[in-house]
Amino acid sequence: MKNLLAVVLGVVCVSGMAAEPLVKSELKHVQQIREAALKSSLGYDILESLTTEVGPRMAGTEGDARAVKWAVAKFKQLGFDSVKKEPVTFPVWNRGIEKAEVLAPYPQPLMITALGNSVGTGPKGLRGEIVHFETFKQLTEAEAGKVEGKIVFISYKMKKTRDGSDYGNAVAARSRGASEAAKKGAKAIVIRSIGTDSDRLPHTGMMRYAENVTKIPAAALSNPDADLLLNQLKRGKPVEIGLTMTAEQTAKQYTSYNVIGEIKGYEKPDEVVVIGGHLDSWDLGTGAVDDGAGVAITMAAAKIVSEIKRPRRTIRVILWANEEQGLHGAKAYAEAHKDELRQHITGSESDFGAGPIWSFDWRTDGKSAAFLDQMALMLKPLGVEKGSNRAWGGPDLSPLRRDGMSVFSLRQDGTDYFDLHHTANDTLDKVEPENMAQNVAVYAVFAYMTAQTKGDFGFNLK
Amino acid sequence: MKNLLAVVLGVVCVSGMAAEPLVKSELKHVQQIREAALKSSLGYDILESLTTEVGPRMAGTEGDARAVKWAVAKFKQLGFDSVKKEPVTFPVWNRGIEKAEVLAPYPQPLMITALGNSVGTGPKGLRGEIVHFETFKQLTEAEAGKVEGKIVFISYKMKKTRDGSDYGNAVAARSRGASEAAKKGAKAIVIRSIGTDSDRLPHTGMMRYAENVTKIPAAALSNPDADLLLNQLKRGKPVEIGLTMTAEQTAKQYTSYNVIGEIKGYEKPDEVVVIGGHLDSWDLGTGAVDDGAGVAITMAAAKIVSEIKRPRRTIRVILWANEEQGLHGAKAYAEAHKDELRQHITGSESDFGAGPIWSFDWRTDGKSAAFLDQMALMLKPLGVEKGSNRAWGGPDLSPLRRDGMSVFSLRQDGTDYFDLHHTANDTLDKVEPENMAQNVAVYAVFAYMTAQTKGDFGFNLK
């Protein structure tokens, strides 16, 4: 009757009571979970399995399909209570071949990669003089005459920070540079990679075309190659480059899956705490830090909780489909589950690599201060500081958050994340097993405590 | 008459006296040279010029020819007293295309590069099961039956040290692995890169075929790709890979040049102190640390000496042709100058990157203790320790050393050298301007003092 009423009203009966601290016996379980997770190599082992047995898994590729199979099998092997796939359909982009070179004044090869969603140049390529802007903003302010018929080059270099906060400044060149350049008549755009390394490995990532602009090819240069172009430009002579890319956004639609494993709650199995990472990766590396780590951390955390003490509510681990090319899995899930949104008590996605977690933030109704203090106390031995009421929750939770769901951010140290992000260098060797264990411990504590508290964190939070 | 006699005897009249300490007024020049070099950006600027205006310059390529032109022009621009080219002829190796992938049990792309001198697979490639050895020695000890018809994989991982001393242990797999594998019937060999990094950039470098063995293709995997193969092998299933390489040793002979610039001695212009680096590089990077740095350090050192005080003897800067593919420039020079060998007082090649110099060694007749103590005193402010009588002198001086010439080794910190060595990552951004200045200062002090001392360091040293 209660469930029927819920369906009729389009909501479910959550407690309405603020999340309250756990009692002593429950805290003992939290400690046991924390210690077990720290001692376990499960997170690292899952990541080793994914990167070794699947590797690159760009959305719409064979690797995508293999990853889905791997995820279903891994959840089952770990003994999750339920495992299911939910379909996610999206258009297929192909990378094709990609190469570039300086043609004049000093011929040299250049290391580039096409940006996701970019069109190609045709197999014969194109050539043109480059016109340099230090920032995306400078490009927006430029007169069209300066750009017309040329290849735009934006050289902004992303700064390294623990929280990755310069990504926002840097990424406009990648996401919107082509449209801005095309409006002014450019024939192509090359940008310095959105990355903080100095390796000869360019960073891919998504770009979008504005409506009613000519779609021009867009590529990223490795940081050393961007330096080389700047050094050539310093000589004051026109710098001409050649660019050949067969990238294409195809007409084909592909259906992948969000893969979902659950540890069912003993009292309120329909209420869920959502953790997870995205299952797709870019194609250049094996997707170890982006986002194999998130997948492995959260699968391991839920599993370790289940081994110590099943919580009151369900822990739902969602391995999101096609995050990279536009949150397709997140949008499909939000749409498919919109009638159960109130049952989503809170959540956190792990999608910032495998560095240690150093802080946690929340987005709640402000009535759970005692619970948050207790969580801070439980996370302190793991080196995690208490943050503030400003959590984002991760990319794939953003549609749910927008619709009112509470979220947490378990903040990883991302100092080195943008050295590897979206490059061929995103491989298992970059991940420290002890950092994986710390992440698993934090996620396990978070998942157990939020699934176990009798109250909730509010809804429709602004 | 003196010169005629020298020609008749096939030797020249060198002093025969042991190198003696410089006098006070000369030491003042040493100090001025040292200070001027430390303040100068000339070494870095020359390196920036070479890597920007020429870039990759593998022996026998267009880049090789451009590098020779660049070197002649740069010596002239710097005002060297004489600039000349001496021909060096060698066979041409082409890299062609190179790709590899795991075919089973878990398909994934692999990042490889062909080893220099390797044959190709033909354009259709080959495929085979890999058979793993941890070391070259294990391969030599294996029974042929284990290897026949398979692809050998050697996974030895080079250790990082300041003096690069593990290179010797590691490099046998590269230089001799193919021959050993071929003797046992292997169809190809892939090795873990001889490198200390963990980047997705394989290290090329020279290999040789023994006589009377089938020439099989030889390639290096990046370190993360070698890790991946090991992780796949751990599953206990056969691991099959595909390999496509169109590398070829051609029938073509190419003539490049040793490019030689001199600062002439004011008293004994025919007696020379030889410094330099090799002008060729591998093709993957821009040859900044191998060996653009050596080229730039030694050109700048001689130039700075000449600006402060011309020494008694000539400083000869030799930019050696084709070091990488077999010391071709070194052998041609030794042959062309064999009758003037006794006029080569001493020398040192810079070919270990751009890390700071921390020690100097010598190879002398043991009669120059006071001079060596004085040199140690002059180098101490640069952070350089006094070493011992065990100098090697660098690769391109080895024929001259073998024939009796004294050499010095100005030892650079090579801790990071094998992160970059022979990879696409060998680019200008890896070089610190202050380290270049320190190197230039050490080379300038060395070149001035050894060219200025009245005595010499002996000959026919064992």
Contacts of A231 in chain B (CB under 8 A): 48, 51-52, 428
User: Of A323, A349, A432, A434, which residue is the catalytic one?
Assistant: A323
Q: How many CB pairs under 8 A join A and B?
A: 88
**DSSP secondary structure letters along A347-375:** EEE--S-SSPEEEEEEE--S--HHHHHHH
pLDDT at B132: 98
Q: Distance (Å) from the C-alpha of residue A338 to the closest C-alpha of chain B?
A: 38
Looking at the partner chain, which of A48, A108, A198 has a beta carbon nearest the beta carbon of B55?
Answer: A108
Name the residue facing A232 among B52, B425, B430 (closest C-beta).
B52
Measured CA distances, A398 to A260, A405, A436, B26, B146 (Å): 18, 9, 24, 73, 55
Kindly report the backbone phi and psi dihedral angles of residue B424, in degrees, each rounded to the nearest multiple of 5, phi listed first. -65, -20
- What are the φ/ψ torsions at residue B191 (nearest 5 degrees)? -120, 155
**What does the block give as tokens for B83?**
């600039």
State the smallest CA–CA distance between residue B105 and chain A in angstroms: 8
**pLDDT tens digits for chain A (462 residues)?**
444 444 444 344 466 799 999 999 999 999 999 999 999 999 999 999 999 999 999 999 999 999 999 999 999 999 999 999 999 999 999 999 999 999 999 999 999 999 999 999 999 999 999 999 999 999 999 998 999 999 999 999 999 999 999 999 999 999 999 999 999 999 999 999 999 999 999 999 999 999 999 999 999 999 999 999 999 999 999 999 999 999 999 999 999 999 999 999 999 999 999 999 999 999 999 999 999 999 999 999 999 999 999 999 999 999 999 999 999 999 999 999 999 999 999 999 999 999 999 999 999 998 999 999 999 999 999 999 999 999 999 999 999 999 999 999 999 999 999 999 999 999 999 999 999 999 999 999 999 999 999 999 999 886
Shortest CA distance from B51: residue in chain A: A228
Cβ contact (<8 Å) for B201 and A198? no
Q: How wide is the angle at C-alpha A420 spanned by C-alphas A416 and A424, nearest 5°?
A: 165
A300 Cβ neighbours under 8 A, 6+ residues apart: A37, A40, A42, A43, A46, A436, A440, A443, A444
Contact between residue A341 and residue A405 where contact means Cβ atoms under 8 Å apart: yes
Distances (CA, A) of A202 to A425, B76, B311, B442: 9, 38, 48, 37
pLDDT of amino acid A16: 74
Q: What is the CATH number of domain A96-246?
A: 3.50.30.30
User: Is residue A88 a contact partner of residue A324, using CB atoms and an 8 Å limit?
Assistant: no
For residue A101, how many other CB atoms are within 10 A of its CB? 16
Pairing of strands B357-363, B385-386: parallel
What integer pLDDT is reported at residue B26 of this predicted model? 98
The chain B residue lying nearest A283, using CA atoms, is B109
Residues of B in contact with A48 (CB under 8 A): 231
The set of catalytic residues of B is 323
Residue B131 Cα, gap to closest chain A Cα (Å): 18
Q: Pairing between strand A98-104 and A240-245?
A: antiparallel
Whether A210 contacts A179, CB under 8 Å: yes
Contacts of A423 in chain B (CB under 8 A): 200
Q: In what order do the strands lie in the sheet with B407-412?
A: B385-386, B357-363, B407-412
| A424–B286 CB contact, under 8 Å | no
Q: What are the CA-CA distances from residue A395 to residues A129, A352, A422, B456 (Å)?
A: 37, 10, 16, 71
| Contact state of A55 with B201 under an 8 Å Cβ cutoff | no
* Closest to A198 measured CA to CA, from B423, B413, B280, B110: B423
β-pair type (B344-349, B268-278): parallel
B81: DSSP letter: S
Closest Cα in chain B to A49:
B231
Burial class (CB in 10 A: 0-12, 13-18, 19+), B332: buried
State the span(s) of chain B assigned CATH 3.40.630.10. 16-93+252-452
* DSSP reduced 3-state for B19: coil
Chain B residues at the A interface, defined by Cβ less than 8 Å, are 48, 51-56, 62, 106-109, 111, 198-201, 223-224, 227-228, 231-232, 235, 285-286, 423-425, 427-430
CA–CA separation, B280 and B261 (whole Å): 17
Contact yes or no for A48 and B427 at CB 8 A: no
Q: Which residues of A touch B (CB under 8 A)?
A: 48, 51-56, 62, 106-109, 111, 198-201, 223-224, 227-228, 231-232, 235, 285-286, 423-425, 427-430
C-alpha distances out from residue A174 to A55, A170, B67, Å: 25, 8, 35
The residue of chain B with its CA nearest to that of A228 is: B52
Q: How far apart are CA A212 and CA B375, in angstroms?
A: 71
CA pair distance A182, A115, nearest whole angstrom: 15
Predicted TM-score (pTM) of the model is: 0.95
Nearest to B200 among A109, A227, A425 (CB): A425
> Which residues of chain B lie closer than 8 angstroms to A106, CB-CB?
52-55
pLDDT given for residue A9 in this prediction: 43
Distance between CA atoms of A155 and A153, rounded to whole angstroms?
Answer: 6
Domain with CATH 3.50.30.30 in chain A: 96-246
Task: Please judge whether A286 and B424 are an interchain contact, meaning their C-beta atoms are less than 8 angstroms apart.
Answer: no
Closest CA in chain A for residue B57: A108
CA separation for the pair B347, B272 (Å, rounded): 8
Disruptive mutation site among B200, B282, B421, B430 for chain A (greatest number of A CBs within 10 Å):
B200
Q: What's the first-to-final CA gap in chain B, in angstroms? A: 32
Q: Do B199 and A198 touch (CB under 8 A)?
A: no
Cβ contact (<8 Å) for B286 and A228?
A: yes
> If we measure between CA atoms, which residue out of B292, B110, B139 comes closest to residue B202?
B110
pLDDT of residue A6: 41
Name residues whose C-beta falls within 8 Å of residue A191's C-beta, 6 or more positions apart in sequence: A115, A153, A154, A155, A156, A173, A174, A177, A218, A219, A220, A221
Question: What was the pLDDT predicted at A324?
Answer: 98
Name every chain A residue with its beta carbon within 8 A of the beta carbon of B286: 108, 228
CB contact at 8 A, A285 and A426: yes
pLDDT value of residue A183: 97
Q: Which residue of B has its CA nearest to A45?
A: B231
Q: Which chain A residues are Cβ-neighbours of B58 within 8 angstroms?
A: none
The two tokens of residue A98 are 């990609």
Question: Is the bond preceding B403 in cis, omega lying within 30 degrees of 0?
Answer: no
Distance CA B330, CA B326 (A): 9
The partner residue sitting opposite A429, judged by closest CB among B62, B198, B427, is B198
Q: In the block, which residue shows the tokens 């792309």? A: B109
pLDDT at B271: 98
Contacts of A200 in chain B (CB under 8 A): 201, 285, 423-425, 427
Q: Which of A61, A103, A198, A199 to mutate to test the interface with B (most CBs of B within 10 A)?
A: A199
Q: Which letter, b or e, does each residue of A240-279 get, where b requires 16 or more Cβ atoms within 10 Å of its Cβ?
A: bbbbbbbbbbeeeebebbbbbbbbbbeebbebbbbbbbbb
Boundaries of CATH 3.40.630.10 in chain A? 15-93+252-452
What is the spatial distance between Cα A3 and Cα A10, in angstroms, rounded to a whole number?
Answer: 10
Verify whether the Cβ–Cβ distance A424 to B111 is below 8 Å.
yes
- The chain B residue lying nearest A56, using CA atoms, is B108
Token pair in block for residue B118: 């390797």
For A53, which residue in chain B has the nearest alpha carbon? B106
Task: Give chain B's radius of gyration (CA, Å).
Answer: 23
Largest interatomic CA distance in chain A: 79
The answer to whether the CB atoms of A227 and B429 lie below 8 A apart is: yes
B423 contacts on A by Cβ (under 8 Å) = 200
Residue A177 and residue A111: Cα distance in Å, rounded?
19
Determine, for residues A429 and B108 on separate chains, whether the beta-carbon distance falls below 8 Å.
no
**Topology at the third CATH level for domain B16-93+252-452:** Aminopeptidase (3.40.630)
Query: From its phi and psi, is residue B125 left (phi > 0), alpha (psi between -120 and 50) or beta?
Result: left
Comparing CB atoms, the residue among B52, B223, B227 nearest residue A106 is B52
Per DSSP, the three-state class of A322 is coil
Distance CA A145, CA A129 (A): 13
- Per-residue confidence in pLDDT tens, chain B, 462 aa: 444 444 444 344 466 799 999 999 999 999 999 999 999 999 999 999 999 999 999 999 999 999 999 999 999 999 999 999 999 999 999 999 999 999 999 999 999 999 999 999 999 999 999 999 999 999 999 998 999 999 999 999 999 999 999 999 999 999 999 999 999 999 999 999 999 999 999 999 999 999 999 999 999 999 999 999 999 999 999 999 999 999 999 999 999 999 999 999 999 999 999 999 999 999 999 999 999 999 999 999 999 999 999 999 999 999 999 999 999 999 999 999 999 999 999 999 999 999 999 999 999 998 999 999 999 999 999 999 999 999 999 999 999 999 999 999 999 999 999 999 999 999 999 999 999 999 999 999 999 999 999 999 999 886
Rounded to the nearest 10°, the torsion over CA B79, B80, B84, B88 is -110
Q: What is the CATH superfamily name and number for domain A15-93+252-452?
A: Zn peptidases (3.40.630.10)
B424: number of Cβ within 10 Å: 27
The Cα of B402 is separated from the nearest Cα of chain A by a number of Å equal to: 38
H-helix or E-strand spanning residue B66: helix B62-77
